[in-house]
Structure 1
Amino acid sequence: MSNIRITKQFSFETGHALYGYDGKCRNVHGHSYKLSVTVIGTPISQSENVKFGMVIDFGDLKKIVKNEIVDVFDHATVFNKNTPHVELAKELSDRGHNVLLVDYQPTSEMMVIDFARKIQKHLPQNIKLFSLKLQETDTSFAEWYASDNEADLS
């Protein structure tokens, strides 16, 4: 049977700051992110299966992405934990703000790599992550493709 790609789109609001950056993004600011998740697989061919004809139930894909990405990053402020922003992060956290400290500079490029790793861990074995597109603004986005990262998929 043919391989089919399906895509589900998500949106969330996240703040961040790029420590050491030489432009405005060194300041704390936020984005209305749009994330497109594309997986590839063959549709289920057993007619007795309730998911007959589906590669993966969109609802099942939604649960994975919401649990791993959207519910974690939505209305959070993300800082690289290896920068002096940790002081600001602690202050915000002490005041009840949702703060995430990550091992990377929280650019769209690095976030999409992180998201790919998190999503892949939870996909059924017969479904592969094909690509991610993380849109930061209407005109700016980062894309991750499995075919470009085969060495990193293990």
Structure 2
Amino acid sequence: MSTRIYKEVYFDASHRLLHYDGKCARLHGHRWRTEVWLEGTVDPRTQILIDYNCIKKLVEIYDHQVILNADDPMVGCLSEFQDVVVTEGDPTSELLCVLIADQIDEACRMMGLDCRITTVRVWEGATCYAEVSR
């Protein structure tokens, strides 16, 4: 029998879009809302698919971070003062969906859990989100 769970996690982070012509090319921040759906087989002993706190910890690696394209010249400048999360490509909500889904799927594999991401939705604000489904 397959079970599906849902977890919502918020994080605050800044980013900028290097290859964008508009306001988002400037460094700015968001209160990001992340929704995660997983599906699989619960552990027969614990009756848990995956600990909700595990999902939270995996998403919160972005909390209070600056997220930039690896090619962004700001990476070198900011790295002198703080850690910078770098991405292969502009750190859009679309890309963050894929990164978060990949990180959670990998963690499930590493823990030997029979569960996988079905959907990740990343809200960049109250009115817009990106979603990846598997």
Provide TM-score, normalisation by structure 2.
0.87
Q: Which residue number corresponds to residue 63 of structure 1?
A: 54
C-alpha displacement at 1:94, in angstroms? 1.3
C-alpha displacement at 1:64, in angstroms? 4.3
For 2:130 and 2:55, the matched residues in 1 are separated by 20
Q: Confirm whether residue 101 of structure 1 aligns to residue 101 of structure 2.
A: no
Deviations 1:81-128 (A, max 9, x none): 12xx33x22222212x33112112100001111111111011144112
Secondary structure of 2:124's aligned partner: strand
The answer for unaligned runs of 5 or more in structure 1 is 147-154
For 1:93 and 1:21, the matched residues in 2 are separated by 22
- Tell me the percent identity: 28
- 26-35 or 117-126: bigger deviation: 117-126
For 1:128 and 1:115, the matched residues in 2 are separated by 12
> What is the alpha-carbon root mean square deviation over aligned residues?
1.7
AA aligned to 2:66 is T
Q: Confirm whether residue 121 of structure 1 aligns to residue 111 of structure 2.
A: no
AA aligned to 1:62 is N
Secondary structure of 1:137's aligned partner: coil
* Candidates 88, 97, 115, aligned match of 1:112: 97
Q: Which residue number corresponds to residue 89 of structure 1?
A: 75
The answer for unaligned runs of 5 or more in structure 2 is none
Asked if 2 retains the 8 angstrom alpha-carbon contact of 1:75 and 1:98, the reply is: no
For 2:22 and 2:35, the matched residues in 1 are separated by 27
AA aligned to 1:22 is D
AA aligned to 1:33 is W
C-alpha displacement at 1:5, in angstroms? 1.2
C-alpha displacement at 1:69, in angstroms? 2.9
Rg: which structure is higher?
1
